[in-house]
Every structure is written in structure tokens, then in C-alpha cells.
Amino acid sequence: MAISSKFKNILNKSKAFFTKAALIILKVIFAIVLVQVLLVGVVFGINHYYRTPLQQFCSEVELNKPVSDVITLAEGHSFFILDMRDKYDRVGILNHRAHYFRYECAITVVNDVVTETKMVIAD
């Protein structure tokens, strides 16, 4: 009889221990998943923050317009300009100089006139 009650007592203590351990493990897993979701949200938010102004600018560039007008407009928005007309008949307008979350409005130029625009990832 005494062995049976000791066994039940040990069994109850081990159940309580494993229940607490399982709850702690679940809380840690939940915290890790929550941190990952928050980080992904922050990255998407930063990406949207940096992409949107240049995307709007690029969509407003008119075809068959002198590229000098587009460059002047881009300078007014404080975008970084890569003038590659000499080698590639292209002008690249970047949202900023840093290496992360950098986008480019790639403008194709023929005879100093805009013929095509497209948004590309610059990194």
C-alpha cells in the first residue's frame, strides 16, 4: 500500500514537471515565431518605404520627353542619378546610394529622348 501511494506521488510530480516543461517550450516557440513574424513585417515595411517614391516617379516619367527634363525632376526628388548615356544609352535613377533596399528606375534613351522606363531591383 505504501509503495502504491509513493508511486502515485512520484507520478503526479512527474506529470506536473512535464506539463510545466511543455508550457515553457510552447512559450519559447511562440516567442521565436512572433519575433520572426515581426522581423519579416519590418523588412517588408522598409522595402515598401524605400520603393514607393521611386516607383511613383518612374511611372510618371513620360516617353518621348527629353531626358534632361527627367534628370532635373529626379534631382528635385533627391534621387541618385547614374548617367550612362555615353556607353549604354541608359540613365539609372536610384532611390538612394546605400546597398540595401535600393531600387532603380531604368530609363532607356535614344538621341537624348526617353524611349522606355522600368523599375528594377538595384542590389
Strand order in the sheet with 80-84: 80-84, 90-94, 103-110, 113-121
pTM: predicted TM-score of the whole model, two decimal places: 0.72
pLDDT (tens digit per residue) in 59-95: 999 999 999 999 999 999 999 999 999 999 999 999 9
Q: How much is the pLDDT for 7?
A: 80
Q: How much is the pLDDT for 3?
A: 67
Instruction: Name the domain count of the chain.
Output: 1
Segment holding 42, helix H or strand E: helix 2-60
Which cell numbers in the block locate residue 96?
538612394
Does pLDDT of 1 surpass 70? no
pLDDT (tens digit per residue) in 20-68: 999 999 999 999 999 999 999 999 999 899 899 999 999 999 999 999 9
**In which domain, by residue range, is 72 found?**
2-121
Least confident of 2-6, 20-24, 25-29, 113-117: 2-6
Residue position matching grid coordinates 515553457:
24
Does pLDDT of 123 surpass 80? no
Q: How much is the pLDDT for 2?
A: 59
